[in-house]
């Protein structure tokens, strides 16, 4: 343990509303996990996961690093998944992009864990009650996540090339496949 990796540096956050959840989402952006790192404990109304989060709060000039982090949601009423089977022994890593919240009848709502590649987990919550806690291990990594490079690489692998259509003064950019990677169609209109 170096001087920089003291226990006081371990992140510990709680979310009790959508604003708090947004702060935690920012810290979890680009976290990496596997389906075996996820579990729904129905009897306890708890959803838990362990992730390797990118440390976005590292000081300028510090080498990029990841931290092992535990996350749990309390008061979970129901879990729905797309493209993921929690607890499955899949080796494919999942990249967490964001955690969002859509309110229903206050204080209830649905938290969605959005992953790269279109996978998602939706948690129907009685109310927002979530905690994040760094578990200790910290390690240096080769580089920072580069969202533009990742998107371009995924498009190239999928065979989705971009093209620009010029019509007088109006320019529109569209993806040849019609999919912008978020499950919807590519935006069309003035550039």
How many C-beta atoms lie closer than 10 Å to residue 184's C-beta?
Answer: 9
Distance CA 14, CA 133 (A): 9
Distance CA 145, CA 127 (A): 32
With 0.85 as the threshold, say if the pTM is over it.
Answer: no
| pLDDT the model gives residue 92 | 85
**Whether the Cβ atoms of residue 124 and residue 110 lie closer than 8 Å to each other:** yes
How many C-beta atoms lie closer than 10 Å to residue 84's C-beta?
Answer: 20
Q: Which residues are CB-contacts of 113 (< 8 A; sequence separation ≥ 6)? A: 96, 98, 99, 120, 121, 122, 123
- Residue pLDDT, tens place only, 83-108: 998 878 778 899 999 999 999 999 99
């Amino acid at each position: 343990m170096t001087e920089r990796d003291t226990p006081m540096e371990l992140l510990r956050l709680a979310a009790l509303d959508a604003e708090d959840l947004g702060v935690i989402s920012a810290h979890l952006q680009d976290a990496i996990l596997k389906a075996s790192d996820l579990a729904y404990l129905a009897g306890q109304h708890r959803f838990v996961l362990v992730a390797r989060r990118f440390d976005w709060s590292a000081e300028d000039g510090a080498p990029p690093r990841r931290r092992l982090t535990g996350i749990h949601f309390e008061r979970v009423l129901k879990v729905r998944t797309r493209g993921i089977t929690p607890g499955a022994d899949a080796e494919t890593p999942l990249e967490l992009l964001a955690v969002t919240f859509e309110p229903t009848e206050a204080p209830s709502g649905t938290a969605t864990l959005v992953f790269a590649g279109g996978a998602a987990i939706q948690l129907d919550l009685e109310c927002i009650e979530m905690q994040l806690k760094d578990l200790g291990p910290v390690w240096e990594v080769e580089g920072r996540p580069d969202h533009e490079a990742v998107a371009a690489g995924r498009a190239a692998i999928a065979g989705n090339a971009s093209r620009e259509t010029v019509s007088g003064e109006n320019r529109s950019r569209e993806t040849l496949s019609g999919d912008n990677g978020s499950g919807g169609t590519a935006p069309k209109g003035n550039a």
